[in-house]
Each structure stands twice: as structure tokens, then as C-alpha cells.
Copies of this chain bind each other. A is one copy, B any other.
């Protein structure tokens, strides 16, 4: 970002103004947009600000890097918007490696004609989420595409963090006998989006669970439990994430349907739309796979944290060369929880 502290003539019209092609062309209009809309909200405190890269203090520990492009539609939804989502989502991808997230970078692709008022609201939301999480946005970029070549705004965030030696959470570390824990009710982000998109009145009170999970994860680490895997079940939901872990670790899993927490209105909305909550995206939940002997200790530590009061032990890991994830149903049966094969929920994050 290029802060050019100078007079631009009239200030940006943040009420009626819209994104124009010249806001992306590198000249005075872009400098004004960055100064008056982005830097004034996201701050400019780090050395290197004003250059094309941020220069930051040396960091102790192995580096952890993650990136996520956000294309959620609609941009605003109950419980959040693309701004806070893009901050929390990337913080979580870094944190689930056992790492401490330190910095965010943000790249914006704006569509010509997008209201500056909406953009300001989104950047405000990013700024608040970043401040609440204590993970600043230290550098960024803005591009503009013509009408009909975007959809308001897309935001790609990249997170940089550090992880100490010896912290080795990874999707390939689930072992037969381990317990599977989820941190709370599932499917809330996806159904908040779908209720808005499909105008389902009775589901209008479903709120996205978007939240930064690094504080919860720090509390989990502090419990001393022998944690093997932590993962946030976003696109594809709990079912897809568990299948990924099963495949990476070459194990099978058995879930107990009766133990999986699902809010009644989420269950109702899923039934109405013919969706399975196991496949619906979460943005503030995590799955933890932990040595069985430590499961209760970990559960207690999690339930003491505001983001995991409804944490539940939902299943266990076993040997299975075919890496199947299965579920014992409320009716006493058993079914395979397969990979998502089709296109259940496009543009959910």
C-alpha cells in the first residue's frame, strides 16, 4: 500500500461514491482510495508501510503460512461479512497448525460500480476482527475489474505465524484409539448464508459462527492434552474434513450421530433444503483428535472457553485400510459418511 499524505481535492464520497476503474490504475485516485478508505481503517503502524512490502520484526520459531481467497455471496450475512470472515478464516488456518498467528496481508479485487459505503463497512469489519484477534493487517493490494468481471469484492488474505519446535499437529497424526472432539454446533455458517440466499424466513435467526480460534487453541495447548490433529471444518464441513484426515492418517473413524451438536433451527433448515449438516461449512468451529486418555481433560479445557462451551466428544478413530468415515445413527444403524461429491454449497466462504 502506498500512503500518499497529500491533498486530493475533494475527499472520497463514502456515502454515494462507487468504485471506478481509475481506482485501480496506480495513480492519484488509487492513492486516495488507499489513504482514505483502507489505511485510515487498517492502520499504518509498521515500518515498511508506504512501501510495497511490510518489514516486520524477526520471528522466533518455524514459520507457518496460509492463504485463502474469499468469494462468499452474499457479502453481508447474519453474524458477519466477507471482511471479518477473511480475517478469521486465515487466522484459523494458521492456528490449527498449533501456531501463533502474527500478521495478515490482504489483496482486494473490486468490481467497478461497487458502493464505497459497502467497501468501507467491509474494511471496518476487517479492522475490528483483526484488532479483536490481535493480528494486524500489515500490507495489502487493491485491483479493480470491470463491471461483470467480479462480484462486488473478493478478498484474499494470507496469514503468517510461528510454531515452536515440538508442536507437530498435522492431518496425518490421527491414531487408532484416538477420540474425536468438535468444539460446538455444526453447520451454522453455511446455513446462515443459505438462509439469506434462499430467503428462508424461519431460518433467519441462524447466525454464522465466524470467529478467530487461536485463543481457544492456545487454551487447548495449555491443557497439556496429547493433541494429534486440529482442523477447522470449513468448505465441505465436518464430513469432508474428517475424510481428509482419515485419508492422510490412513485410519477409519466412527461417529455417533446422537453426540454431534446441531442447533434445532440448523437441523430444520438443512432438512428443508435437503442438506446434511455434516457437509455444511463452519467458520468458527474446530475438530480435535486427541489421545483417548486425554479426551476428558481436553473437553474440560475447551468448555471453559467461550467459543467451545458446547464442545462434544463425537466419535473415535480405528484401524481401517479403506479409511472409511462411518456413523452410528440415532436409529441404531450405521452409514458411511462419504466425501462430498457434488456441488453442495457454492461460494460459502
Contacts and interface: CB of A to CB of B under 8 A. Distances in A.
Interface of A: 2, 4-6, 20-22, 24-31, 47-48, 50-71, 93-94, 96-97, 99, 103, 105-109, 138-146, 148-151, 154, 156, 158-163, 170-172, 231-232, 234-237, 240, 244, 247-248, 279, 281, 339-348
30 contacts: A4-B247, A22-B342, A25-B235, A25-B236, A26-B340, A27-B340, A29-B341, A48-B170, A50-B172, A50-B248, A53-B64, A53-B66, A53-B94, A55-B64, A55-B97, A56-B64, A57-B63, A65-B139, A67-B105, A67-B141, A67-B156, A69-B108, A105-B158, A109-B156, A143-B347, A146-B346, A146-B347, A149-B150, A149-B151, A150-B150
B93 A52 contact: yes
Nearest to A236: B26
A343 B31 CA distance: 13
Given A93-B52, A151-B149, A25 B65 contact: no
B58 A60 contact: yes
Contacts of A237: 26
A53 B151 contact: no
Given A234-B26, A343-B21, A64 B54 contact: yes
- Quickly give the copy total for this chain: 2
A65 B53 contact: yes
A28 B339 contact: yes
Contacts of A4: 244, 247-248
Nearest to A101: B53
A345 to B, nearest CB: 6
Given A20-B343, A27-B341, A64-B48, A69 B2 contact: no
A148 to B, nearest CB: 6
A67 B54 CA distance: 10
Contact of A66 (B54, B68, B342): B54
B66 A52 contact: yes
A53 B232 CA distance: 12
A30 to B, nearest CB: 8
Contacts of A48: 64, 97, 170
Residue of A58, A64, A106, A170 ringed by the most chain B CB atoms within 10 A: A58
